A and B are shown apart, each in its own frame.
Chain A
Amino acid sequence: MKIYQCDQCEYASVSDKYRCPSCGTGQLQEKELSSKGSVYSYTDIHIAPAEFAHLAPYTVALVQLDEAPVKVTVRMSSGVKIGDTVDLDHLEDGAYIYSKC
């Protein structure tokens, strides 16, 4: 799992930014770490936009990574509850697909 860590402050994010949104001056540096984490929160989406309608109902979770103060929005391969341990299963059209450990 790639994350982006500011070279001037504590800020880190799963998405790259042109400049650090926290300190405004630092550059984000790419870092590789474990994709394992736990479910911070989630929702089961029953009504979906046209491009995801064929998947509904599906679960989207906000996952807290174990190795960094970074959260990642993922689609789950099954239902979850807060605190469940999860890990990356595969990438699909730019989305992280996670499953329960």
Chain B
Amino acid sequence: MTNVYIEGIGMTKFGKFVDRSMKSLLLDACVEALEDAGNPKVDAVFVGNFMGGSISNQEILGAIVANELGLGYVPTAKVEGACASGGIALRQGIMGILSGEYETVLVAGVEKMKHASTADVTQAINAAMDTDSNEKQAGLTFPGFFGVLANRYFHETDATKEHLAMIALKNRENALNNPLAQFQKPTTMDEIMSARIITSPLGLFDCSPTTDGAAALIISNKKGKIHIRSSAQSSGPTQMQDADDLLSLPAVRESGRMAYEKAGVGPEDIDVVEIHDCFSMTEMIATEELGFFRKREGWLAVEQGRTKATGDKPVNTSGGLLSRGHPIGATGIAQIYHLVRQLRGTAPNQVEGARLALAQNLGGTGSYSTVHILERL
């Protein structure tokens, strides 16, 4: 259990904002979170960001936030952990408060991706693989890894591409009610199933998009209404060929196990979940690794509608990465933003009476995972 509470939240709309700078998106989210918290004195800043250096030639995001917002000469840092940059930034803030060094921390995440070409963005994302390896030289990509995983999952279970499509459709339907989500156009199973293939069997709708956007949180040791019950983080294999079990993400399993243990709750106690669905297949595996469903049975839960907003284990009521969008460094923070709204009772696709919420943020092909469990007091 931590003594850390979430006092304020802020988030920009996710989408394509060619005329906006990374800095202006980041500052908008931070100002909204500060105002939501009543503009407290901030003792430190952590910013999650992955490709600001490679795609926008912009680093020092922590110091930029402190200077632009008049926070004083407080300590700041940018945190990089691939797609888990946001979740790890949050954890750094929590650790700073737990250590006694800080009382109130501004944690933010941002990414600006839409101005670059798909080939250049894919290349930049590949930095989150072990690039000094025969695996990277073979031409494996992130969607490629989850394509290989999906084909094996289909081989070992009765799951098919339709089950992946059901996940994509569910998350799109959730996004339709979320004005901050990137994709707000309705779709159909037919459209999803016949979309162009990215890395077989994954099609366009099975893959999260590139996105511009930012999100921010104010966390503090002053007792508030939203309690961070636990924070956990794990590492996992950095190469597909080194996985003991291809249909497992050990970092997700281990970070989940530690988060449950620290919070003193189990998967059955969680009312609402945000999972790192960078691909439809990733959501399926993560629901198994987090103990919501048995191994190799995540597809059955999807078929039975259990992960819909109206199901017994609602997953990605924000629209998830697939439809809310995936501005890499902002994603882990945006998950928390949405869950705080669920716990405040003001979320799109509100889960009635939600009290315990879980967020899981993944980096690399299972290289990093964070899990945070939140509680409404």
Which residues of A are in contact with B by a Cβ distance under 8 Å? 13-15, 21, 40-53, 55, 58, 60-62, 70-75, 82, 92-96
B149 touches A94 (CB 8 A): no
Known contacts A60-B144, A73-B240; decide if A41 and B134 are in contact (CB<8 Å): no
How far is B148's CA from A71's CA once the two chains are assembled, in angstroms?
13
Whether, in the assembled complex, B123 has its beta carbon less than 8 Å from a beta carbon of chain A, the answer is yes
Whether, in the assembled complex, B155 has its beta carbon less than 8 Å from a beta carbon of chain A, the answer is yes
Residues in chain B near residue A72, CB distance under 8 A: 134, 241
How far is B122's CA from A40's CA once the two chains are assembled, in angstroms?
25
How far is B238's CA from A21's CA once the two chains are assembled, in angstroms?
11
Q: How far is the CB of A9 from chain B (nearest CB, A)?
A: 13
Q: How far is the CB of A71 from chain B (nearest CB, A)?
A: 5
Residue in B120, B122, B135 with the greatest tally of chain A CB atoms within 10 Å: B135
- Total A-B residue contacts, Cβ distance less than 8 Å: 111
A-B contact sample (20 more), CB < 8 A, given A13-B242, A60-B139, A73-B140:
A41-B152, A42-B151, A43-B144, A43-B200, A44-B147, A45-B199, A46-B200, A47-B143, A47-B199, A49-B126, A50-B120, A51-B123, A60-B144, A70-B241, A73-B239, A73-B240, A73-B241, A74-B138, A82-B155, A95-B137
Q: How many residues of B are counted as interface, with CB atoms below 8 angstroms from the partner's CB atoms?
A: 38
Residues in chain B near residue A45, CB distance under 8 A: 139-141, 143-144, 147, 199
Return the 6 tightest CB-CB contacts between A and B, nearest first. A43-B147, A41-B152, A95-B137, A73-B135, A94-B137, A50-B119
Q: 24 A-B pairs, CB-CB below 8 angstroms?
A: A15-B242, A41-B152, A41-B246, A43-B144, A43-B150, A43-B151, A43-B201, A43-B202, A44-B197, A45-B139, A46-B196, A46-B197, A46-B198, A49-B123, A49-B126, A50-B122, A51-B123, A52-B139, A55-B139, A60-B139, A73-B135, A73-B140, A73-B239, A96-B138
How far is B237's CA from A21's CA once the two chains are assembled, in angstroms?
9
Chain B interface, DSSP helix/strand/loop, else mixed: helix
Q: How far is the CB of B154 from chain A (nearest CB, A)?
A: 9
Which residues of B are in contact with A by a Cβ distance under 8 Å? 118-120, 122-123, 125-126, 133-135, 137-141, 143-144, 147-152, 155, 196-202, 237, 239-243, 246
Q: How far is the CB of A11 from chain B (nearest CB, A)?
A: 10
Known contacts A41-B149, A49-B122; decide if A14 and B138 are in contact (CB<8 Å): no
Known contacts A40-B152, A43-B200, A82-B152; decide if A48 and B239 are in contact (CB<8 Å): no
Q: How far is the CB of B109 from chain A (nearest CB, A)?
A: 24
A60 touches B138 (CB 8 A): yes
Residues in chain B near residue A71, CB distance under 8 A: 241, 243
A13 touches B199 (CB 8 A): no
B199 touches A46 (CB 8 A): yes
A62 touches B141 (CB 8 A): no
Partner of A82 from B123, B134, B151, B198 at Cβ < 8 Å? B151
